[in-house]
Structure 1
Amino acid sequence: MKTSTWMHNHDLVPQCLVHLIPNHRGLTESQKAQVNTMHENGLLTSKIMGLMVGQAGGYANVGFTKKDLDNHIQRTHRAKLIEYWKNMLKKYGLEENSWVLNEYEKKKSWTSAYLRDKCCAGFRTTSRCEAINNFIKRFIGIRQSLLELVQNI
């Protein structure tokens, strides 16, 4: 290459599509706080996205996609789990206990261990969770508490 030029060889992205470029997307701190509050109060991610889009006046104005929202909620859950885990280790003086630390590394298999003694007629873990959720849905609505679930069963 002998020379280089700093000119674009294509048209720039139209302003109405800039919100789709990853470097131009993301939740603001106030949006994160609002999303966290709604999620903690039981709103589903799709409902949160709809509310945020309505509040902003359209998808082009909200500044993030549903995938960005899902990623934020997942990161928040992961951070809480790590915080709770560290607090538990500190509370019980287990920071140096190799067995406990090793168990944390196996966290992906915790669900299987929890469901191991439940009769699931040979279903795999994903099928078990779906079957349990489907069963529970018959007894509760979206706004019901765990106490109401137990009372209904």
Structure 2
Amino acid sequence: MPSDSRLSRMLHVLIHMDRIAEPVTSETISRMLDTNPVVVRRTMAGLRAAGYLTSVKGHGGGWTLAIPLDKVTLRDVHEALGNPKLFAIGLADDNPACLVERAVNAALKEVLLEAEQRLLQRFGEVTIGALSRDVAFPEGWLKHRPR
């Protein structure tokens, strides 16, 4: 099962957008992420609906931050992306009548639920602004960004 990298990719984009401080087109973002602009628009739409981004169509338009990154947590972005599954680990359903399978599933379900709750709690404690301050952009970076 492939991993879901949307959270990581959107954090990447949001930090770049904050540093650029001007509208960024879907085409520019698609080059950053090596994906299609349609995929960018679809993914960014959830962030716009949650109030973290705005978008303007046409010449001079693009995506902009609607609020400072210090007010947005990792959990906020995770939720705006539709709460993608956090773990690839799943429960077996080969033989629901098997007592062993049911016991294993019950134990795993409890542990996975606890781990998910802890992870989401931690996501809620980390702002993207704090994450952004940990990034050391080199001098002249803005001149060499994707256009």
- Higher Rg: 1
Interval containing the TM-score (normalised by the shorter chain): under 0.3
- Structure with the higher helix share, 1 or 2: 1
Q: Which has the higher contact order (CA 8 A, sep 6+)?
A: 2
- Structure with the higher strand share, 1 or 2: 2
Q: Normalising by the residue count of structure 1, what TM-score does the alignment of the two structures yield?
A: 0.27
